Amino acid sequence: MLEVLGLRRVYGSLIAVNGIEFALQPGDIFGFIGSNGAGKTTTIRMLATLLEPTSGTARLNGFDVVKEPMEIKRRIGYMPDFFGLYDDVKVWEYLDFYSTLYEVPVRERPSVIDNVLELTDLTVKKDSFVSTLSRGMQQRLCLAKCLVHDPELLLLDEPASGLDPRARAELKQLIAELGRMGKIVIVSSHILPELADFCNTVGIIERGDLMAFGSVRDVVKTIQAAKVIEVHVIEGAGEGSMFLHGKPFVTNTHMLGSTTFKVEFEGTEQDQAEMLKSLVDAGFQVTEFREESADLEDVFLRVTTGAVQ
């Protein structure tokens, strides 16, 4: 379990991260969303023990990031947004280097290297020089490096940046697989649709403050107090709109055309069903009655102002 407890980072009078708090369970894939300069990378670097928090801390399975950095390092895999691989070594040598650093027993190293290469689909490149790999493959190699010691927490900072759509899709599958393996995965990105696909938890950070945290559904619900229901009728959208205006739980209605109107609604699903029934009973020929769901992008735009520090 990862507990982030009031993590704060200050540079002079600038607050990069302002006492954020959240907790993640094994198997959670946490999408960390924020504009450039919002504090994502600073937070991840503090969790990776690269930066010292000004105050607050984080605990991974009881080990403290500030007090026990060496224990944390044994349990995390970190992939930065920009990283350099050693061009002059072969893929297996690169992984052998990190296996040694992580004290993987000598006898187990060949099988560990083979396993992570298989998981990241790089087996055929085992004897290739790192410099010959494509950007997507280098990204996967860095991820493979993060896995040689079977970490409990993976910190992936903008892992999909610079990848083509296919490489991005493959990376998403890989991250989802890691989540299924019971690892806690923190993925930062500002490409929102790709996070919604495989993250079960998201957090939105803005100017160092964690503005929202929870499951994708909960976060969307938090910012969208009223449901928006789009109603299609064969004719009489204006009348339908007028009919529902002022009814219980209806806060507002909008005309979208001669056959379509929108209803802002605050009731439960039962109330929603009652409203549909009343429309039909009133003689409106309803062809479509659909709740508009906000996506992460809507949530992000609503929650944040886009200001960077």
Partner 1 sequence: MKGFAEWARVQRRVYLGNATSVRDFRAQLRGNRPILLWSIYLGLLVLFVVLAYSNIVAQGQQSVTVVQTQLKSFYKSILWMLEVMVALVAPVIVAMSIQSEVQRKSYDLIATSPVTPKYYLIGKVLSGYRYVLMLIFLSLPVTAAAVVLGGATYGEVFISYFMIAMHGLLYIAISLPIAVISTKVVPAVIYSYTACWGYALFASAGAAMYMSRSMWMGGPQEEAPFYALLTPAMIETPVDAHTSLGKLSVPNWILATAVILVIVRFMVVGAGSAMTRKGSKETASLRIHGLVITAVITGIAALSQFSIMGTFTTMGASSSGGGAQELCIFFTVLSLPLIFALPNLSTWSYVDEHKHRPGGIFDVRQLLSGAPEGGLPYLLALLATMFAVGSGVLVYFGGAIDAVSIVYFVWLTGCWVFVWAIGWLVSSFTRTGAGTAKKSHIASTVIIGLLPWPFLSIVTAMSEADWLDVFRIYPFAGFLYNLSDLDTVVLMVFELWVAAAALTIWAEFRRRSVVSLYKRALNARQ
> Which residue shows structure tokens 């302002």?
18
Q: Give 50 or 276: the residue with its C-beta nearer to partner 1.
A: 50
Q: Give 9 or 172: the residue with its C-beta nearer to partner 1.
A: 9
Q: Give 48 or 202: the residue with its C-beta nearer to partner 1.
A: 48
Residue type at position 136: G
In angstroms, rounded to a whole number, what is the distance separating the alpha carbons of residues 148 and 262? 53
In angstroms, rounded to a whole number, what is the distance separating the alpha carbons of residues 3 and 184? 11
Question: Are 286 and 244 within 8 A, CB to CB?
Answer: no
DSSP assignment letter at 141: H
- Alpha-carbon radius of gyration of the chain: 24
In angstroms, rounded to a whole number, what is the distance separating the alpha carbons of residues 19 and 39? 11
Report the interface residues with partner 1, using CB under 8 A. Answer: 10-15, 18, 48-50, 52, 54, 70, 73-74, 76, 78, 80, 82-86, 88-89, 93, 97-98, 100-103, 142, 145
Q: How far is the CB of 247 from partner 1 (least distance, A)?
A: 44
Q: How far is the CB of 52 from partner 1 (least distance, A)?
A: 5
Question: Are 261 and 228 within 8 A, CB to CB?
Answer: no
Q: How far is CA 198 from the centre of its chain?
A: 8
Residue type at position 183: K
- Could you tell me where the DSSP H helices lie in 204-268? 216-223, 237-244
Q: Give 72 or 212: the residue with its C-beta nearer to partner 1.
A: 72
Q: Give 67 or 180: the residue with its C-beta nearer to partner 1.
A: 67
Task: State the DSSP H helix or E strand holding residue 99, giving kind and residue range, or none if neither.
Answer: helix 91-101
Q: Give 59 or 149: the residue with its C-beta nearer to partner 1.
A: 149
Q: How far is the CB of 98 from partner 1 (least distance, A)?
A: 7
DSSP assignment letter at 140: H
Q: How far is the CB of 255 from partner 1 (least distance, A)?
A: 44
Cα torsion 14, 203, 296, 248: sign: negative
Q: How far is the CB of 125 from partner 1 (least distance, A)?
A: 17
In angstroms, rounded to a whole number, what is the distance separating the alpha carbons of residues 12 and 306? 23
Q: How far is the CB of 251 from partner 1 (least distance, A)?
A: 34
Q: To the nearest 10°, the Cα dihedral for 120, 124, 127, 130?
A: -50
Q: Give 10 or 276: the residue with its C-beta nearer to partner 1.
A: 10
Q: How far is the CB of 261 from partner 1 (least distance, A)?
A: 45
Q: How far is the CB of 157 from partner 1 (least distance, A)?
A: 10
Q: Give 133 or 237: the residue with its C-beta nearer to partner 1.
A: 133
